[in-house]
Amino acid sequence: MKAYLKQSIPALAAGAMLFAVACNSTTQKSAQGVSDTTGISAKAFEKEIDGKPVHLFSLKNKSGSKALVSNFGGRLVGLFVPDKEGKLVDVVAGFDSIEGYQKSTEPYFGATIGRYGNRIAKGRFTLDGKTYQIFTNNGLNMLHGGKKGYQDVVWDATQLDAQTLELRYFSKDMEEGFPGNLNVTVTYTLTDNNALKITYKATTDKNTVVNLTNHAFFNLNGSQSGSILNHLVQIKADQYTPVDSTLIPSGKLEGVKETPFDFTQAKTIGKDIEVKNLQLDNGKGYDHNFVLNPHQADDAVAIVTGDQTGIVMSVYTDQPGLQFYSGNFMQSKNTMKGNHKDDFRTAFALETQHFPDSPNQPSFPTTVLKKGASYQSQSIYKFSVAK
């Protein structure tokens, strides 16, 4: 399957019952009992930020798996799936209160990322002959939307049924320097076969650039279980985009064969991560975009297995790239769920996306969304148990 900005998205199945109650512009499911099985209290997420109410929403499927989502940053707070013993394990790193996310030195835990995920060199790009300057929040470059990306805004939320949450955000023209009023809808769906679907849609009234993704930090042995280096990872990509010391791509595509970036056959994250390699030095480990091989919508582009729990996460996407991040900048500065620190390489991210710095790289798939056109994308994280 060729991956382009516009994709057709299968319609999400409507739920059997609407049970949400209105709360200002947010429609909220009563979260009573959330803390009974997850250890996370919905009350710890009740707050007003920027004049808008923040809540914690609970999605639950027929098999008992659960996803917890806050409309602050449209972020995945917890994801509870069964391990090889049938025990529910929280596989997403995060905090047990809204204050934890607000005070975190790492702002992206579980968050929806936009308007442009990943980096833009020097925060600058030219579109239709006009140069736009975005706030540079990552050294010389823009990262994940600028100074106040979508991880720091309060989304309007409607819980459509027990398994589906719709989030909406209106991003104003020139917000963080991006042109065009952008209407964004992100839908989380927890299916009965333990797949978390994230569907993105957006429209604009002016030509702009868009690259939406989610920045969940995963540990398939459990969010409090320590190092992820023994996780088995397979990424179906024969090429990746090498970067400079500021993690901006050169514009070239390089083969992974006979390099530490070859995950075409499953291997542990730790197998080659300490190999002497300029690209690993630049990223302090893996923090690179993988160029996904041509694939159909039902082909997993990545498969990860937790060595202790046997939990398998299969990733599906219609995007051309996958950013693999091995938790290299986790520095034990934040106290997470269960009173654990965000220690070095205790979580990883697999961000489905277009390539970094695409607005400045004409050879990369375009991220331009034209006036009147529709951005549509879907990513799926499906969980099973190793046989």
Digit-coded pLDDT (tens) for 241-292: 999 999 999 999 999 999 999 999 999 999 999 999 999 999 999 999 999 9
Q: Specify the pTM.
A: 0.91
Which of 156, 217, 120 has its CA nearest to residue 20?
156
* The predicted structure's pLDDT at residue 24: 39
- For residue 280, give the CATH number of its domain: 2.70.98.10
- Residue 273 maps to a domain: yes
User: Which listed residue (55, 215, 231, 288) is catalytic?
Assistant: 215
Which pLDDT band holds residue 317 (cuts at 50, 70, 90)?
Answer: very high
The more confident residue out of 7 and 68 is 68
- Residue 309 maps to a domain: yes
Q: Which are the contacts of 338, defined by CB distance < 8 A and separation ≥ 6?
A: 39, 96, 223, 224
* The predicted structure's pLDDT at residue 39: 84
d(CA 353, CA 362): 17
Which of 89, 105, 45 has its CA nearest to residue 223?
89
- Percent of the chain having pLDDT more than 70? 90
Which pLDDT band holds residue 6 (cuts at 50, 70, 90)?
Answer: very low
- Residue 353 maps to a domain: yes
Residue 292: domain span: 21-385
Domains identified in the chain, total number: 1
- Residue 174 maps to a domain: yes
When mean pLDDT is compared across 25-29, 170-174, 323-327, the lowest value belongs to 25-29
Residue 14, pLDDT > 80, answer: no
Asked about 340 being catalytic, the answer comes back as no
- Percent of the chain having pLDDT more than 90? 89
Residue with tokens 């489905």: 352
* The predicted structure's pLDDT at residue 11: 36
* The predicted structure's pLDDT at residue 62: 96
Residue 126 exposed, middle or buried by CB count within 10 Å (0-12, 13-18, 19+)? exposed
- Residue 4 maps to a domain: no
- Residue 157 maps to a domain: yes
* The predicted structure's pLDDT at residue 110: 98
Which of 302, 314, 318 has its CA nearest to residue 378?
318
Residue 92, pLDDT > 80, answer: yes
- Residue 9 maps to a domain: no
Q: What angle do CA 42, 117, 377 make, to 5 degrees?
A: 80
Residue 4, pLDDT > 50, answer: no
* The predicted structure's pLDDT at residue 68: 98
Q: What angle do CA 150, 191, 378 make, to 5 degrees?
A: 45
d(CA 56, CA 37): 15
Could you report the per-residue pLDDT of 100-154, keeping only the tens digit for each?
Answer: 999 999 999 999 999 999 999 999 999 999 999 999 999 999 999 999 999 999 9
Q: Which are the contacts of 387, defined by CB distance < 8 A and separation ≥ 6?
A: none
Identify whether the C-beta of residue 266 lies closer than 8 Å to the C-beta of residue 234. Answer: yes
User: Which listed residue (166, 175, 176, 351) is catalytic?
Assistant: 351
Could you report the per-residue pLDDT of 179-196, keeping only the tens digit for each?
Answer: 999 999 999 999 999 999
Residue 368 structure tokens? 């331009």
Three-state secondary structure call for residue 103: helix
* The predicted structure's pLDDT at residue 387: 87
Question: Within its chain, how far is the Cα of 387 from the centroid?
Answer: 27
Residue 25, pLDDT > 50, answer: no
Mean pLDDT score of the chain, rounded to an integer?
A: 92
* The predicted structure's pLDDT at residue 26: 55
Asked about 351 being catalytic, the answer comes back as yes
Q: Give the number of residues written for the chain.
A: 387
Q: In sequence order, what are the beta bridge partners of 142?
A: 120
Residue 7, pLDDT > 90, answer: no
Which pLDDT band holds residue 23 (cuts at 50, 70, 90)?
Answer: very low
* The predicted structure's pLDDT at residue 20: 36
Residue 36, pLDDT > 80, answer: no
- Residue 208 maps to a domain: yes
Q: In sequence order, what are the beta bridge partners of 81?
A: 89
